[in-house]
């Protein structure tokens, strides 16, 4: 199952090769052309049936947050830095996979018996942590690991049959969920327009892959697919969960990186209502997406982010509803079928 | 190895010249003169970047490699004339804790020596003495009263730190603006070596402007040149008290090669290979984010450019007493020259992501 | 010009939803330009051709104002908001917001733990007079802008959105009075400046001018304990920008502006702004680099509902622009 293979693949920002492999294997024979650019983006092209010069780009990013090894100390412990935004509080006692061989290590923690209350009430900063790979000397560690090796959380994907609505758990749903949706969209093509599905790199460190991919493709409109913040856990006050599981794909009118083009937002809403697909609005102003880079390419590209709600992103284990994922595919497919140059003719 | 570029005198002249981001004229003239002697053409673009082209020997159209080192320095700017003294803002990221008691030069109608004044400790409370003074509350004294001051100084005049170049022991030198004029010198060393080393690719050596304000010169110069690959040369955190092992590199052990999302893996590998072959000592610098250097801009220009970053180890960055080992500067130039000499058509294939299992 | 300024500042138009301001400006400049277009990000660009002997000059003033977007409606019908651009809770609390469908709301403030603290954004909410989520006339994703009509105080004008509708007014007036010029002048009424100079980035790419000048507001140092110590003062003429928080004006562009002011006896001041920037920053790093500068209108209380400036400064700004455009640029 594609989401499983995508979720399990090793791919922190700047080191997406293994995810790229999964993506290319899934789409190579379903598109008319495919290339990999200088930042590692997979740029695919599927010709349209009606409007050959009207280009629509749909993006999803392949990279996940992770780590890089900075220093091997005299005890053979690996010191590390973070790639992308990770809350230090999710790190202690987690398992990671390191380097090209994906060897396992653990983020070690002082036994609680030996801590005092003051210590237990403080957040440990990541630069006071170290990864233990089970060696006891610097020399032995240096035979196995290099300074600069990448690492990711070690989490296995699982379908959860625990509720009436099927859920799944795994790492990196931000944005392997988006990649899974995009692969489905490719399988359901062709579309009326000239379709440019792009699997980007380095979104988590500044939307960098999307920036150059958009410059190259220069579409007339763009949709950015994400696995996004879903903060619907228990709460005291009556406040926004940003998105909620079970409410369908989340449309972003605005986030920190982009104000969505109103015409595309309108099209998504009209499509959802006409097709009876549940949808929600993502809480404005939270997070950034590839749309932030795409919409500023050259003379500008009307863009909108559409996301699968995903709990616990940027932490080791995420959770999503497969129903939400399915509805995101449904909404995007139906919307793309309605994407014609007319959509952008008004202002 | 012999170099005809006189490394220490050139570094000294660049260091002591004035070239605050956006107003690099004085240092630009010095760089243009030196690069012109080592290249086939030199031009200055709309932003003031110096772009020197040394033609390769391959058949046209030739591949292009761009080298970027920034010539601007952080500085200060007059924001207001206040009762015979000058209020100022910073241009670029100044550590305001280094300013009190510093000698400066105000580049007004004429150059005026000045002092960033401070109130004598005798009149301050212990609490006041324990807090750094915010830049807003500092002032510069050039020894003129308000009426004469107004004739000579205007809002917007630039200010540089007055810091003569120092030669210390063991080949270490100390001065202002080694970030990043040391790299400008290492590019000159590279061009000098290329006078006798054959190279197929065209070399665009760029002394960029306004790096300290957000790599602005690199954004525009890279767009204009559209190179096939780019190397930024900047400075890296040299080991010193208070700077952890994880983030620092040793002085006098050669330049650091950066590794991370901002760097194309094949560029890193090739630089490492060349360093090993020519026994140039190098270190590794881990960069998990887009770097605070011209490399950040080069990589995402146009359709994307394979990029590398070389860092010259430097202590006391962004203070007037930046310190480095002259040998590291020369090694960096040497590494670039040998890397360039090895570039051929086959290198483009090495850049393809297919190589590492895509 | 006061009528035009009043119409502009009182029009609803936060970043990303500038359509009403654009329509108003289109009406005001009807028939004055040779070509007009609206680009992909909503910039309105009007070209007045020159006699062919000069340069391509881009003038940029932004149409958008800071505002808010609805982020949540609670069970009782109280509306939570997110800022669009640099909104300061201290300046807007207890004021009013207008949403696109005409709904007006009052910006309320939750109790602060320490009464002297500056309120963070999370403590704000909007009261639109609803009693439940179901009967609330606004929903998540709706845009809003602040409400404050323009008045004259002394020789000064005060209103919300002087930043940067005053720049738009200056451009409109310049276009009205521009007789002949060697230059092809692109009057760019830009979008989404307040959220990151976004319209100017793409607008400049499309125009690809030889030189760009932004017309925007800058801070004033002439009030009691100003937010930032600055040399600029109301009534001392347009300010010629040397530096702001995002860029340094290209020296020859700055000198051109100074020379023109001096040659035409137009009062001016020099400006160094510590925080904040303008469209000029985006124009300057477009493509292979574009020489850029900025003509600033000194304004008190920026990003508050009562942005205050000098009408004589506005008139002198138009004079300066016309003087600059009517002759070739000798660099």
Residue A140 banded pLDDT, cuts 50, 70, 90: very high
Whether C117 has a pLDDT exceeding 90, the answer reads no
Domain boundary assignment for chain B: 7-73+176-350, 78-161
Q: Dihedrals φ, ψ of A155, to 5°? A: -140, 135
Give mean pLDDT, residues A155-177: 90
pLDDT tens digits along B35-86: 999 999 999 999 999 999 999 999 999 999 999 999 999 999 999 999 999 9
CATH 3.40.630.10 fits A2-64+171-345, yes or no: yes
Which pLDDT does position B3 carry in this prediction?
Answer: 55
CA distance, residue C78 to nearest chain A CA (Å) = 10
Of the candidates A313, A295, A310, A307, the one whose C-alpha atom is nearest the C-alpha of residue A331 is A307
CA angle, A319 then A320 then A326, to 5°? 160
Cβ–Cβ contact B357 with A under 8 A = yes
Residue A150 banded pLDDT, cuts 50, 70, 90: very high
Structure tokens at A210: 């999307």
The hierarchical CATH code for the domain B78-161 is: 2.40.30.40
Residue span(s) of chain A under CATH 2.40.30.40 come to 66-153
* Of B4-8, C79-83, C292-296, the least confident: B4-8
Inter-CA distances, C10 with C15, C21, C146, C224, Å: 15, 10, 10, 28
**Which one of 2.40.30.40, 3.40.50.300, 3.30.465.10, 3.30.479.30 gives the CATH number of domain A66-153?**
2.40.30.40
Whether B356 has a pLDDT exceeding 70, the answer reads no
CA distance, residue C277 to nearest chain B CA (Å) = 13
Residue B98 banded pLDDT, cuts 50, 70, 90: confident
Which chain C residue's Cα is nearest to B220? C288
Query: Can you tell me whether residue B193 is helix, strand or coil?
Result: helix
Which residue matches tokens 């012109």?
A: B36
Structure tokens at A200: 């980007």
Cβ–Cβ contact B47 with C under 8 A = yes
Give mean pLDDT, residues B126-144: 87
Collect all residues with Cβ–Cβ distance below 8 Å to A6 and sequence separation of at least 6: A19, A22, A23, A172, A176, A179, A180
Residue span(s) of chain A under CATH 3.40.630.10 come to 2-64+171-345
Which pLDDT does position C136 carry in this prediction?
Answer: 98
One-letter-per-residue 3-state SS of A150-202:
EEEECCCCEEECCCCCCEEEECCHHHHHHHHHHHHHHHCCCCCEEEEEEEECC
CA–chain centroid gap for C196, Å, is: 13
Inter-CA distances, B83 with B148, B253, B303, C52, Å: 11, 51, 53, 49
**Which of C26, C141, C202, C206 is the best residue to mutate to test the A interface, defined by the most A CB atoms within 10 Å of its own CB?**
C141
CATH architecture of B7-73+176-350: 3-Layer(aba) Sandwich (3.40)
Collect all residues with Cβ–Cβ distance below 8 Å to A287 and sequence separation of at least 6: A228, A229, A255, A256
* CA dist., res. A18 & res. A104, Å (int): 17
Collect all residues with Cβ–Cβ distance below 8 Å to B169 and sequence separation of at least 6: none
> What does R_g of chain C's alpha carbons equal in angstroms?
20
Roughly how many angstroms between the first and final C-alpha of chain A, as a whole number? 42
Give mean pLDDT, residues B147-160: 95
Buried b / exposed e across C167-187, counting CB within 10 Å, b at 16+?
bbbbbbbbbeebeebbbbbbb
Catalytic hit among B211, B212, B285, B322: B211
pLDDT tens digits along C151-190: 999 989 999 999 999 999 999 999 999 999 999 999 999 9
Nearest by CB: B289 against A38, A73, A205: A205
Residue B358 banded pLDDT, cuts 50, 70, 90: very low
**DSSP strand E in chain C: where?**
35-38, 44-48, 56-62, 67-73, 79-84, 96-99, 104-109, 124-127, 143-146, 151-153, 156-159, 184-190, 211-219, 239-243, 269-272, 292-300, 307-310
Q: Is B211 a catalytic residue?
A: yes
Whether A155 has a pLDDT exceeding 70, the answer reads yes
Cβ–Cβ contact C40 with A under 8 A = yes
The alpha-helical segments, DSSP class H, found in B137-202 are: 146-152, 178-193
Instruction: Tell me the whole-structure pTM to 2 decimals.
Output: 0.95
Whether A216 has a pLDDT exceeding 50, the answer reads yes
Chains touching C by CB (3 or more pairs below 8 Å): A, B
Inter-CA distances, A119 with A79, A127, A197, B320, Å: 21, 16, 49, 40
* CA dist., res. A72 & res. A79, Å (int): 6
* Of A118-122, A173-177, A232-236, B149-153, the least confident: A118-122
Residue B299 with chain A: CB contacts under 8 Å: 39, 208
Residue B353 with chain A: CB contacts under 8 Å: 17, 20, 36, 40
- Please, are residues C246 and C281 in contact by the beta-carbon 8 Å criterion? yes
**Which of A54, A299, A343 is the best residue to mutate to test the C interface, defined by the most C CB atoms within 10 Å of its own CB?**
A299
Q: At what angle do helices C162-177 and C19-28 cross, to 10 degrees?
A: 20
Catalytic hit among A16, A64, A184, A203: A203
Inter-CA distances, A314 with A78, A87, A153, A182, C292, Å: 21, 8, 10, 21, 41
pLDDT tens digits along A66-95: 999 999 999 999 999 999 999 999 999 999
pLDDT tens digits along C191-240: 999 999 999 999 999 999 999 999 999 999 999 999 888 999 999 999 99
Chains touching A by CB (3 or more pairs below 8 Å): B, C
- Is the peptide bond prior to B61 cis by the omega test (within 30 degrees of 0)? yes
Residue C280 banded pLDDT, cuts 50, 70, 90: very high
Query: Can you tell me whether residue A19 is helix, strand or coil?
Result: helix
Q: What percent of chain A has pLDDT over 90?
A: 89
Cβ–Cβ contact C272 with B under 8 A = yes
Q: Dihedrals φ, ψ of A178, to 5°? A: -60, -40
Residue B123 banded pLDDT, cuts 50, 70, 90: confident
Which chain B residue's Cα is nearest to A23? B358
* Of A232-246, A248-262, B172-186, C294-308, the least confident: A232-246
* CA dist., res. A8 & res. A28, Å (int): 20
Strand partners, C149: none
Determine the longest span between alpha carbons in chain C, in angstroms.
65
Residue C228 with chain B: CB contacts under 8 Å: 136
- Please, are residues A152 and A12 in contact by the beta-carbon 8 Å criterion? yes
Query: Can you tell me whether residue A293 is helix, strand or coil?
Result: helix
**What ipTM score was computed for the predicted complex, to two decimals?**
0.94
C42 and A238: CB-CB below 8 Å? no
Beta strands C56-62; C96-99: pairing state? unpaired
**Which of B303, B308, B309, B351 is the best residue to mutate to test the A interface, defined by the most A CB atoms within 10 Å of its own CB?**
B303
Which pLDDT does position C331 carry in this prediction?
Answer: 62
Whether B345 has a pLDDT exceeding 60, the answer reads yes
Of the candidates C133, C10, C142, C13, the one whose C-alpha atom is nearest the C-alpha of residue C81 is C142
């Amino acid at each position: 199952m594609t989401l499983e293979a995508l979720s399990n693949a090793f791919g922190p920002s700047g080191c997406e090769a293994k995810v790229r492999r999964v993506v290319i294997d899934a789409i190579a024979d379903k598109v008319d052309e495919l290339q990999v650019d200088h930042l590692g983006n997979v740029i695919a092209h599927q010709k349209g049936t009606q409007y050959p010069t009207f280009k629509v780009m749909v993006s999803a990013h392949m990279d996940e947050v992770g780590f890089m090894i900075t220093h091997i100390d005299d005890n053979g412990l690996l010191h590390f830095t973070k790639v992308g935004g990770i809350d230090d509080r999710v790190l202690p006692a987690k398992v990671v996979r390191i380097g090209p061989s994906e060897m396992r290590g653990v983020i070690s923690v002082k036994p609680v018996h030996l801590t005092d209350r003051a210590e237990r009430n403080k957040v440990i900063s990541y630069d006071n942590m170290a990864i233990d790979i089970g060696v006891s000397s610097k020399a032995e560690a240096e035979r196995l690991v290099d300074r600069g090796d990448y690492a990711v959380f070690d989490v296995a994907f699982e379908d959860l049959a625990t509720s009436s609505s099927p859920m799944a758990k795994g790492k990196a749903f931000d944005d392997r969920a988006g990649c899974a949706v995009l692969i489905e969209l490719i399988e359901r093509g062709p579309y009326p327009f000239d379709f440019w599905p792009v699997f980007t790199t380095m979104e988590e460190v500044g939307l960098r892959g999307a920036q150059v991919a958009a410059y190259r493709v220069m579409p007339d409109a763009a949709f950015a697919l994400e696995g996004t913040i879903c903060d619907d856990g228990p709460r005291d006050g009556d406040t926004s969960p940003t998105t909620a599981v079970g409410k369908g794909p989340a449309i972003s009118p605005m986030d920190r990186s982009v104000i969505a083009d109103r015409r595309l937002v309108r099209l998504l809403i009209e499509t959802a209502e006409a097709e009876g697909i549940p949808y929600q609005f993502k809480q404005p102003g939270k997070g950034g997406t590839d749309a932030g880079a795409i919409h500023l390419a050259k003379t500008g590209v009307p863009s909108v982010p559409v996301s699968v709600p995903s709990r616990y992103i940027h932490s080791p284990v995420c959770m999503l509803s497969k129903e939400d994922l399915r509805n995101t595919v449904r909404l995007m497919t139906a919307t793309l079928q309605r994407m014609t140059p007319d959509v952008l003719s008004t202002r | 190895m012999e170099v005809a570029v006189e490394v220490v005198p050139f570094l000294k002249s660049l260091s002591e010249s004035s070239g605050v981001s956006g107003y690099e004229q004085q240092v630009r003239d010095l760089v243009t003169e030196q690069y012109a002697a080592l290249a086939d053409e030199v031009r200055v673009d709309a932003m003031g970047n110096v772009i020197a082209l040394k033609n390769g020997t391959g058949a046209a159209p030739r591949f292009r490699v761009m080298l970027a080192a920034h010539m601007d320095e952080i500085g200060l700017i007059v924001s207001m004339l206040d009762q015979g003294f000058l209020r100022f803002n910073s241009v670029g990221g100044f550590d305001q804790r280094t300013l009190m008691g510093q000698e400066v030069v105000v580049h007004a109608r004429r150059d005026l020596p000045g002092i960033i004044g401070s109130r004598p400790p005798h009149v301050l409370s212990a609490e006041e003495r324990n807090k750094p003074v915010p830049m807003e509350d500092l002032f510069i004294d050039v020894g003129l009263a308000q009426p004469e001051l107004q004739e000579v100084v205007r809002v917007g005049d630039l200010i540089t730190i007055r810091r003569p170049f120092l030669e210390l022991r063991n080949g270490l030198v100390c001065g202002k603006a080694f970030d990043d004029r040391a790299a400008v010198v290492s590019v000159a060393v590279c061009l000098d070596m290329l006078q006798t080393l054959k190279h197929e690719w065209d070399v665009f050596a760029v002394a960029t402007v306004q790096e300290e304000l957000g790599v602005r010169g690199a954004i525009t110069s890279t767009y204009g040149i559209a190179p096939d690959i780019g190397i930024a040369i900047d400075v890296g955190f040299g080991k010193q008290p208070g700077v952890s092992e994880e983030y620092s590199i040793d002085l006098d052990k050669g330049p650091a090669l950066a590794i991370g999302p901002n760097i194309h893996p094949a560029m890193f590998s090739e630089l490492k290979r060349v360093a090993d072959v020519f026994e140039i000592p190098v270190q590794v610098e881990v960069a998990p984010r887009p770097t605070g250097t011209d490399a950040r801009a080069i990589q995402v220009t146009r359709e994307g450019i394979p990029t590398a970053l070389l860092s010259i180890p430097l202590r006391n960055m962004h203070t007037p007493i930046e310190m480095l080992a002259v040998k590291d500067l020369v090694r960096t130039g040497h590494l670039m020259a040998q890397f360039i000499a090895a570039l051929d058509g086959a290198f483009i294939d090495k850049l393809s992501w297919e190589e590492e299992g895509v | 010009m006061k009528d035009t300024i009043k119409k502009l500042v009182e029009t609803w138009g936060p970043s990303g939803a500038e359509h009403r301001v654009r329509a108003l400006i289109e009406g005001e400049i009807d028939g004055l330009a040779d070509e007009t277009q609206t680009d992909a990000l909503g910039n309105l660009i009007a070209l007045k051709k020159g006699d062919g002997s000069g340069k391509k000059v881009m003038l940029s003033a932004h149409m958008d104002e800071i505002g808010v977007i609805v982020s949540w409606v609670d069970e009782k019908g109280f509306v939570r908001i997110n800022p669009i651009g640099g909104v300061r809770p201290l300046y807007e609390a207890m004021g009013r917001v207008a949403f696109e469908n005409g709904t007006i709301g009052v910006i309320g403030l939750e109790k602060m733990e320490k009464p002297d603290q500056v309120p963070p954004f999370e403590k704000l909410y909007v009261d639109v007079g609803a009693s439940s989520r179901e009967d609330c006339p606004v929903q998540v994703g709706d845009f809003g802008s602040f409400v404050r009509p323009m008045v004259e105080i002394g020789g000064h004008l005060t209103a919300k959105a002087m930043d940067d509708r005053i720049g738009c007014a200056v451009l409109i007036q310049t276009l009205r009075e521009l007789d002949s010029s060697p230059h092809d002048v692109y009057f760019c009424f830009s979008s989404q400046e307040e959220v990151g100079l976004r319209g100017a980035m793409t607008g400049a790419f499309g125009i690809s001018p030889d030189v760009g000048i932004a017309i925007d507001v800058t801070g004033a140092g002439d009030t009691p304990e100003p937010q930032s110590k600055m040399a600029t003062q109301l009534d001392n003429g347009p300010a010629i920008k040397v530096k702001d928080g995002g860029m340094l004006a290209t020296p020859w562009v700055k000198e051109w502006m100074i020379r023109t002011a001096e040659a035409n006896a137009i009062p001016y001041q020099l400006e160094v702004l510590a925080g904040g920037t303008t469209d000029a920053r985006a124009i300057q790093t477009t493509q292979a680099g574009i020489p850029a500068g900025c003509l600033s209108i000194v304004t008190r209380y920026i990003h508050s509902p009562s942005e205050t400036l000098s009408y004589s400064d506005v008139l002198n700004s138009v004079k300066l622009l016309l003087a600059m455009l009517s002759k070739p640029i000798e660099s």
